Amino acid sequence: MSKIVLAGLGGEKYIPLEERTGNESIVYFTRDLSAAGLQKVYEKVNGNITGKIAVKLHTGEQNGPNIIPRPWIQEFMKKEAPKGTIVETNTYYDGDRYTTEQHRETIKVNGWTFCPVDIMDENDTAMLPIVGGKWFTEMSVGRNLLNYDSFITMTHFKGHTQGGFGGSNKNIGIGCADGRIGKKMIHTAEGSDDQWSINEEEFMERMTESTKATIDHFGKHITYVNVLRNISVSCDCEGLDAEPVVTPNIGILSSTDILSIDQASVDLIYALSDKDRAAMVKRMSSRHGFRQLSYMQEIGMGNSRYILIDLDNDEVRITPSDAVADVIPFEEDDR
């Protein structure tokens, strides 16, 4: 597809909830940013999590400040997935997780030592089919992904240098693609000397197709949790170099619909005051990040409309504005 057509897909434009069409999925919400809150939302969406369980989270660069707190995950694994395994892949960029040896050291530094951690591309890769994509018919992932029966997506929602935002889609699409082949397929145009030559709409579409390979593989045995806390415009892959957090903490979401949970996360940001949402809105729109959402809908990965359920108040239906009504505005001293 030509660049002219791609530029017309509107990835820089946020589509309000009232302008969306189609079916609705359920998204659960709690303001309880704690280990207990994490378990509360997960228990609403764990019905099909069986067998050997993979838990995909961003374990972060060394001493990264914004990742999901380690004690929350430790408690989660103990109570909800005692035989589960945290899964990751090596990075495409040369950093603390580029080689398996470096990655293992970073895992140790960041304290992910309370359960097994599987670097899925440590020894080999595998190709998963992609149905209905425009860029790929298959995606290269860490081979060990094939060893699991169920997949829990545990995502720190934040900004992203190329994706605009990093939600469940980014966590899977980049996080399961292996470090040398799959990530190159997503990031680098064939024959280019620029490692990061693919961006805006094309990047969103390639990343999303990579995600589709994994979620199609697991079928109904996959679920999603997004933690909206310590939201910087930077991804956790930037570690200590991440931009300062200037967005208020909001809460935790869960769903069995990947599009609905990422869309709801974006909607909660948009429901904040102009001041509190400004940095994230600029980051998402400038990178054409909303193409992640529209493309997920186009290729049948979920619904952009959803029913938001308040787990803190008798499971009533609420709006994103209701959800953030009592959010404490960000102050300079909160950094």
- For residue 333, tell me if it sits in a domain: no
pLDDT the model gives residue 242:
73
Q: For every one of its 335 residues, what pLDDT tens digit does the chain have, with 9 covering 90 and above?
A: 333 334 446 899 999 999 999 999 999 999 999 999 999 999 999 999 999 999 999 999 999 888 999 999 999 999 999 999 999 999 999 999 999 999 999 999 999 999 999 999 999 999 999 999 999 999 999 999 999 999 999 999 999 999 999 999 999 999 999 999 999 999 999 999 999 999 999 999 999 999 999 999 999 999 999 999 999 998 877 677 778 899 999 999 999 999 999 999 999 999 999 999 999 999 999 999 999 999 999 999 999 999 999 999 999 999 999 999 999 998 754 44
Domain count, the chain: 1
- For residue 300, tell me if it sits in a domain: yes
pLDDT the model gives residue 129:
98
* Cross-sheet strand order for the sheet of 251-255: 117-119, 85-88, 53-56, 150-156, 222-228, 251-255, 24-30, 305-310, 316-318
Whether 129 and 137 have beta carbons less than 8 Å apart is answered as yes
- For residue 269, tell me if it sits in a domain: yes
Q: How many CB atoms lie within 10 A of CB 177?
A: 31
- For residue 247, tell me if it sits in a domain: yes
- For residue 10, tell me if it sits in a domain: no
pLDDT the model gives residue 333:
47
- For residue 86, tell me if it sits in a domain: yes
Alpha helices in 271-324 (DSSP H): 274-286, 291-298, 320-323
- For residue 17, tell me if it sits in a domain: no
In whole angstroms, give the CA distance from residue 111 to residue 63: 9
pLDDT the model gives residue 234:
85
Using DSSP bridges, classify how beta strands 222-228 and 150-156 pair: parallel, antiparallel or unpaired: parallel
Q: Give the CATH number for residue 254.
A: 3.40.50
Instruction: For residue 78, give every residue at least 6 positions away whose Cβ sits within 8 Å of its Cβ, in sequence order, or none.
Output: none
In whole angstroms, give the CA distance from residue 180 to residue 37: 36
In whole angstroms, give the CA distance from residue 270 to residue 276: 9
pLDDT the model gives residue 1:
30
Residue type, 26: I
**For residue 146, with 0-12 CB atoms within 10 Å meaning exposed, 13-18 middle and 19 or more buried, which class applies?**
exposed
pLDDT the model gives residue 332:
55
- Region class of 115: left (phi > 0), else alpha (psi between -120 and 50), else beta: beta
Whether 232 and 245 have beta carbons less than 8 Å apart is answered as yes
Instruction: For residue 4, give every residue at least 6 positions away whose Cβ sits within 8 Å of its Cβ, in sequence order, or none.
Output: none
pLDDT the model gives residue 281:
97
In whole angstroms, give the CA distance from residue 34 to residue 146: 31
Instruction: For residue 302, give every residue at least 6 positions away whose Cβ sits within 8 Å of its Cβ, in sequence order, or none.
Output: 25, 257, 258, 259, 260, 296
- For residue 58, tell me if it sits in a domain: yes
Range of the domain at 287: 25-327
